[in-house]
Amino acid sequence: MKRLNPSPTELFISFFAFSALFLIPSTSAQTCRTACGKQSLRYPFGSGPGCGDPRYQSRTTCDEAQQELTLTTHTGCYPVTAIDYAAQVIYISDPTMSTCACSQDSRGFGLDWDAPFSIHDNTIFALLDCSTSTSPIYGPAAPGNSTSSSSSSSSPLCDAEGTSICSFLYSCHAISMMNQPISSCCVYTPVDLGPAYEMDLGKLKCSSYSAFYSFDGQELDPDRWKYGIALKYKFNVYNEYPSSCAQCERSGGACGYGGAYDTFVCSCPESGLNTTSDCFFVASSLSEAPGHILAPHTGTGALLHSVVSILSLVMIRAP
């Protein structure tokens, strides 16, 4: 049998084809979305595994059935009602807490000790239907009270300035149905919840709680208050937005991660491709045709585009 010797042109084509396997900035096949229902998704939040920041992915997930972003802690699952990306604040609601519209027994609320969140200073917690005789919030041995002075140790953990808030809450028809005195209400500030912001209603001897983060300009009308919990979040220890992620989102992509070391991935929803740079080169490559104006190629995308262009040219001219 005659042995076939590849021509220089064939070797050239093979070399570029082999090189392209290493230069193509594609990664795993997960597709990240830029929205969950009506809620837009930006870093550090993601639509599923491999999306967003890995520290947040296990705690905030997109419920496919409800098309709703959900925060999960050891105390339950909480729908995300809004995200203020400029202020880095996420707003959640607790289906079990009491409001002016509904009073019910609550589970309480707590953040996991390693959660990348902290309770926003604007959030006000009001414990409802607490036992004035057995609840530790009224006694000298209240949790978190490590001061040895008699004046401090005998002070309750209820905010004295919160009496008016309790009065307004107990004026709501739903909460008034508890048929409890206002003294059974305690405005419990986040600093008193401890380092993990734990609210164990069983230990506190309270049957329910209410939380809100804004009076919405209607301090005298509890029906108009914005009920829910506001949580702050940070991007990293320096709170810097990753530049690679910013470029990815500007190109219409969603930030994600992949591989053994959770390295950066830019997921391009429109094309279904994932890259290690951005979606500009993907969009321009797919739309390249006579009459189209291509977006500028940068970074790894430029290198890939050059390799593919040269390879195509060589293949066309090859005998």
- Find all residues with CB under 8 Å of 30, minimum gap 6, and list them: 48, 49, 50, 51, 256, 258, 267, 274
pLDDT-derived band of residue 296, with 50, 70 and 90 as boundaries? very low
The model's pLDDT over 130-189, given as tens digits with 9 standing for 90+, comes to: 998 898 887 654 444 443 333 333 345 788 888 899 999 999 999 999 899 999 999 986
The model's pLDDT over 214-235, given as tens digits with 9 standing for 90+, comes to: 999 999 999 999 999 999 999 9
Tokens of 252: 């219409």
Taking the C-alpha atoms of residue 207 and residue 219, their distance in angstroms, rounded to an integer, is: 25
**Residue 243 phi, psi dihedral angles, 5° rounding:** -65, -35
Closest residue by Cα to residue 220 from 179, 261, 168: 168
E strand intervals along the chain: 35-36, 39-40, 60-63, 68-73, 76-84, 89-92, 117-119, 124-130, 186-188, 206-214, 226-227, 229-233, 254-258, 263-268, 273-275
